Amino acid sequence: DANGTSLSLSDYVGTPMLVNLWATWCAPCVVELPALDRAAAQLSKDSIKLVLVSVDRGGPAKAIPFLEQRGINTPHLGFDPKGQLARRLNVRGLPSTLLLSADQSKAWLFVGPFEWDTPEVQADIRRLLGK
């Protein structure tokens, strides 16, 4: 996290999650950030947590000012400057977004930008999670 505390997906068992891996240098990532910000507010009504995980090597010092300049403040933030999470998830491109069921027994991986805040995508997320 921004304080350097190590986080693990297992810390969030019991909470359905949308985990988006992104970078400041990734144009499609930047394009989808506003939709993710709006989606975070919408999904929180169903107790679905959205976490933006920056893979920028500069960590929080690079990503936080970038997000602040764009008014992105709703999602929770994580940082993967060494690419450990990205490697564990076998991420092949950015943006990549992982949808995890609350018990983490089901997962879906979406590669590429999506309009996360549209009613259709929101309905798909809720349907996949059984909400």
CA-wise closest residue to 55 among 110, 6, 5, 93: 93
30: left (phi over 0), alpha (psi -120 to 50) or beta: alpha
- Measure Cα distances from 126 to 65, 68, 91 in Å: 31, 29, 23
30 is written with which tokens? 């930047």
Model confidence pLDDT, tens digit, residues 97-118: 999 999 999 999 999 999 999 9
Q: What is the pTM of this model?
A: 0.94
Model confidence pLDDT, tens digit, residues 20-58: 999 999 999 999 999 999 999 999 999 999 999 999 999
CA-wise closest residue to 6 among 107, 89, 63, 82: 82
